[in-house]
Chains A and B, each alone.
Chain A
Amino acid sequence: MAATNTKPWAVGLLRSGPEAPYVIPLGEEELDRDAQWAMRQFERMGIQPGKPALLIGSGGDYHLLWPCEDALTRMKVPFGQAEVLAADAARSAMFLRRLQLQAVLGITLDILDALPMHGLDVSRLFANMPVICAAPGAWEKLRSLGCAPWQEIRLGPLYGFQPPDEEGYLYNQDEWLLEENEGRLLVTNRRPRMFDFKRMNFGITGRLIEVDGEKRVLLT
């Protein structure tokens, strides 16, 4: 697909792949489609309007985060914001302590490991959390504590979300074409984006599987 020529809404950076970092202009329409997809995933996770959530992420990842913020806003989900680093764990701890959160999205191992220093009992706290979506590392730790979190991963320019106790990461198939190539997944945008991804190799080793008629990514 040819890239559009309008002015970008923002410029993001992709930090994985053989020639990383990739500087990617971002268009308003593509981010809008990303937000619509994020909304569907959040609804699938069971996130409901009117109840607070915590969205942890870094400003350098706004190319992925902004659609999530936009989705939560459209869903009328009040959301707190905190950074991914252990140095900012006090902020996540405060939101976790003070609010009856329905969901914690994007939690990292750095944050998880730092929470006890801020007086939080991680096992107890997350045992009662209705929705958790964790980054790799945090996901394994939460599983070991008996939680059933979703897992989020980056597949280059897009998120993949793996439901609890299910195999394979969901991704936006309307927007992205993923192809297997000698054990790696190549990424192409199906619809026009300001940065054209043509069979780009981000070093993702995996294959495509089908679960209930739905394509998913299985990392290998």
Chain B
Amino acid sequence: MMKRQAFLRSETRYLEAVETMPRAQLLVLQEQRLLKMLSYAYERAPLVRRLWNASGITPADIGSRADFIARAPFLTKEDIRRQRDEEKDAHAGLLCLDPSEVNWLVSTTGTTGEPTILSHHWGNTGLDQQAPGLNGQWPPSYAGSSPRDYWEMGVREGDYFLNFGFRIRGSTFRPAQYLGAIPIFLSYAPGDLLLAMKLSLQYRPTMWWVMTPPTVRALLALERDHKIDMHDVFSSYKAVIFAGEPLGPQMRTHLERWGVGDRIFNMSALGDIALAQDCRAHDGCHAWEDVALVELIDPETGAVIEKDGRGELVVTTLVNNADALIRFRTGDYVDMKWGTCACGRTHARFQPLGRTGDEILIGDRSVLPIDVWLLIEQQPECADGIFQMIRPQREMQYLHIRVGYAGQSNLADLQARLTTSIQAALGLPVNIELVPQERILATGGHLKFSRTVKE
């Protein structure tokens, strides 16, 4: 069983020195780990070997980070699914260990299809990447860098940590225990929210893991129906981790009203390699580049984007001895920043914007759901931000948006308000289709629904 760390009493801002390592040194460390990982993965993972052989290269052809970026083939979700189905391999040709050596298996959310398996292994067998920035307490592949984020958010030894999350990514409370925090176990279920309120007042936790849009909607109902003082409930929290979808502006106003507006930290998957979270500068989720090589590419051409800006997130694990995600195209559309963060950390950071498959082109204008989110939420009947963009193909003549409304409404008036607002803001033609919001919610799972659909 994992032991608590006794050394974490200091009040330094950074948990590990690697967080602020000068970027040039960080890239050297990254390159060392990359070259080791490539040989390891090519030797063991059939899908990696197949893709690299098809590209006519081997790890021996890669002598540097620059070589890798110039020559290594991409790995896509389609490659993974094809390998899984054609070879009848649950691990899709990515497993670098004998299946019997795997310790536990988690899976992706499954928003874009059947969940895919992610494997974890205690220890570092075979790969043996060395410190800095790695601890021996759990697999580096498993939320390996989250303690850095939690420390930055203010979690300290003896704090209580409200664990209100789905059990699909493993025992995600363990990184907080590494810091000496004490998890309070709840189920991610509406029925447990009242208990969460009670326990928040009793134990005064410092972190809520995790808040999602459905949770905020349920809390609003509790506040209304039970007259709960949410300001008091949230008064002890140093961090409320938000996940599942981007936090919409309207929803943010509720959290601000409850006094935690400045303590909301976005969490995003770093392409199924690790988790990435905001720092106190709230300028994007930190992609820890000592555990992953992070790239930004043009989703259409695959060209690497070296500057700050929007593009598709591509990740390569540097530390996972179980699953070899090498140059994996995540399908996540992000806004990336490479420079040193205001928090002092030298690692890249990104804002999740949506999925690359969400992008609609009208002429040369790129539109993502996030571009219309606030405009929709501003209408009181649509304050929950429940909408889908209809995208039969990427290029469209106009925006077709299915918007969910709550309660009774003058639909003609609502349609006119939405149309005027979106056309004025984006300068694009728009067709608004109104439906009761339950109809859209019913299309999704327990965490989120697709923001774009074909029809």
Contacts and interface: CB of A to CB of B under 8 A. Distances in A.
A and B interact physically:
yes
Interface of A: 7-13, 21, 23, 28, 31-32, 49-52, 57-63, 65-66, 69-70, 72-73, 76, 78-83, 85, 87-88, 90-91, 94-95, 98-99
Contacts, number: 130
B185 A63 contact: yes
Contact of A79 (B105, B110, B115, B184): B105
Given A94-B107, A98-B84, 8 more contacts: A11-B203, A59-B167, A62-B185, A76-B100, A78-B105, A82-B168, A83-B167, A94-B117
Contact of B90 (A9, A76, A81, A99): A99
7 contacts: A7-B182, A10-B177, A52-B99, A57-B167, A59-B187, A85-B189, A98-B90
A88 B166 contact: yes
Interface string B195-224: 100010011000000000000000000000
Contacts of A88: 166, 168, 445-446
Given A7-B158, A23-B202, A60-B186, A94 B115 contact: yes
Given A9-B182, A78-B104, A99-B90, A83 B445 contact: no
B86 interface: no
Contacts of A63: 185
Contact of B185 (A50, A61, A85, A91): A61
B188 interface: yes
Contacts of A28: 1
Nearest to B202: A23
A94 B114 contact: yes
A95 B110 CA distance: 13
A13 B114 CA distance: 32
A159 to B, nearest CB: 16
A199 B202 CA distance: 26
Contacts of B166: 59, 83, 88
Given A23-B199, A31-B1, A88-B446, A80 B107 contact: yes
A80 B105 contact: yes
A91 B107 contact: yes
A50 B100 CA distance: 4
B192 interface: yes
Nearest to B166: A83
Given A10-B185, A52-B99, A81 B167 contact: yes
B122 interface: yes
B393 interface: no
Contacts of B189: 58, 60, 85
B105 A11 contact: no
Nearest to A119: B114
Interface in B63-80: none
A19 to B, nearest CB: 14
Contacts of A83: 166-168, 188
A61 B166 CA distance: 12
B182 A11 contact: yes
B109 to A, nearest CB: 9
Given A69-B171, A85-B446, A91-B110, A59 B182 contact: no
B173 interface: yes
A76 B121 CA distance: 10
Contact of B115 (A31, A76, A90): A90
B102 interface: yes
B115 A70 contact: no
Contacts of B202: 23
